[in-house]
Amino acid sequence: MNVLVTGGAGYIGGHMVLALRDAGLKPVVFDNLSTGFRWSVPEDVPLVVGDIGDYELVLQTLKSHSIDAIVHFAAKLVVPESMRDPLGYYLNNTVKSRSLLAAAVAAGIKTFVFSSTAAVYGNASEKALTEDAPLAPLSPYGSSKQLTEVMLRDVAAAHDMRFVTIRYFNVAGADPAMRHGQSTANATHLIKVAVQTALGMRPSMDIYGTDYPTPDGTCIRDYIHVTDLIAAHMQALDHLRGGGESLVVNCGYGHGYSVSEVVETVRKVSGRPVEARIAPRREGDPMTIVADSTRIRSKLNWQPRYDDLATIVEHTLRWETMLRERNLKL
């Protein structure tokens, strides 16, 4: 099976490329290299440098590589950035996804896996979220993904396509074999930031808000290991290839950790101090987001292997140490 991986030169897409290759399938990367890196794409994997909004190039790629399925990761993904640049997010994540879908329909693609996000839920209750929870994104990022979910559902219904939409909770960690990890300049994601602080690559970090009505006052998230997330994508492809129905599934472990607990875990695992300053709340941050993962476990038989915060932190730490040794400021 030939699989187009949009955003395949990035963090999560890059792990997908490795998993497809490991499974003997043929990934083709489509990436504009705005945040991804050419060096992260294995030499034997075709890389098309282009924009998913470039209809002609996408269509030509789908045809020339005889693509059977699309796994669509390419997106802007920073919640606070989306608050400052909503139009950029709607253009990149929604409008260009429309163009990608149009090319997919024109090429007769029947199988589509889409990276969505828990940010579509907005300010949830303390209960774990099922996929049927109301959608009320707090950020343009969440809205831009929600709109694409709706488009994909409608396009699939009209054009003999089946899809799995995967709503990611907070993805972290790195390939346990250290072939890939998060390489983002000026990263904003909590675990990476805390690990970089532990390694002395940042003098200190901020904790955004300690006055939330949670047990320790900081926000709670469901952190999942990137390798488990990618296993869910592989199972989604299997499910669709086997004739399975279209699905929307959460991908999270079903339990959350607070920001302070994450910082403390980084201190413990690294054995180093992490200077964390208390800062005001960050705009667009929901208080608590935790997945109910019943559906993905039952429909895709998803069985996570790295459901342990210390392991996620340890893998991030090993990856960041490697980047630092190579003097890469990513």
Q: Out of 28, 113, 128, 289, which residue is the one contacting ligand UFG (CB under 6 A)?
A: 289
Applying CB under 6 A, the site for ligand UFG has a residue count of 21
User: Between 134 and 243, whose beta carbon lies closer to ligand UFG?
Assistant: 134
d(CA 182, CA 11): 5
**At a CB cut-off of 8 Å and minimum separation 6, what does 118 contact?**
129, 167, 168, 169, 170, 222, 250, 252, 289, 291
| CB distance 101 to 33 below 8 Å | no
Q: For the CB of residue 29, give the shortest distance to ligand UFG in the complex, in Å.
A: 20
For the CB of residue 25, give the shortest distance to ligand UFG in the complex, in Å. 26
Q: Which residue has the tokens 């709607």?
A: 90
290 in contact with ligand UFG (CB under 6 A): no
Q: Does 82 bind ligand UFG (CB under 6 A)?
A: no
Burial of 126 per CB tally in 10 Å (0-12, 13-18, 19+): exposed
Using CB under 6 A, which residues numbered 250 to 279 contact ligand UFG?
259
Q: Which of 125, 130, 188, 298 binds ligand UFG (CB under 6 A)?
A: 188
Largest separation between any pair of C-alpha atoms in the chain: 55
**Counting contacts by CB under 6 A, is residue 226 touching ligand UFG?**
no
Region from 125-133, 199-207, 266-274, 319-327 binding ligand UFG, contact rule CB under 6 A: 199-207
Contact region with ligand UFG (CB under 6 A), list: 66-74, 97-105, 185-193, 303-311 = 185-193
Q: Which of 31, 51, 131, 285 binds ligand UFG (CB under 6 A)?
A: 285
Residue pair 137/146 in contact by the 8 Å Cβ criterion: yes
Q: Tell me the C-alpha distance between 262 and 239, whole Å.
A: 34
Q: Which of 141, 168, 208, 253 is catalytic?
A: 141
Quote the least distance from Cβ 18 to ligand UFG, whole Å. 21
Give the relative orientation of helices 190-198 and 259-270 as an angle to the nearest 10 degrees: 40
DSSP 46-99: -EEE--TT-HHHHHHHHHHTT--EEEE------HHHHHH-HHHHIIIIIIHHHH
Piece in contact with ligand UFG (CB under 6 A), picked from 44-52, 83-91, 202-210, 291-299:
202-210
Task: Give me the least distance between CB of 196 and ligand UFG, in Å please.
Answer: 10
Residue of 3, 29, 79, 234 interacting with ligand UFG (CB under 6 A): 79
Is 212 among the catalytic positions? no
Q: SS3 for 150-216, per residue?
A: HHHHHHHHHCCCEEEEEEECEEECCCCCCCCCCCCCCCCCHHHHHHHHHCCCCCCEEEECCCCCCCC
316: tokens are 């991030």
Work out how close the CB of 262 gets to ligand UFG at its nearest, in angstroms, rounded to a whole number.
7
Q: Which of 12, 29, 41, 77 contacts ligand UFG by CB under 6 A?
A: 77
Site for ligand UFG in 127-146 (CB under 6 A): none
CB 284 within 8 Å of CB 246: no
Residues involved in catalysis: 141
Q: Which residues bind ligand UFG (CB under 6 A)?
A: 77, 79, 117-119, 169-170, 188-190, 193, 205-208, 219, 221, 259, 282, 285, 289
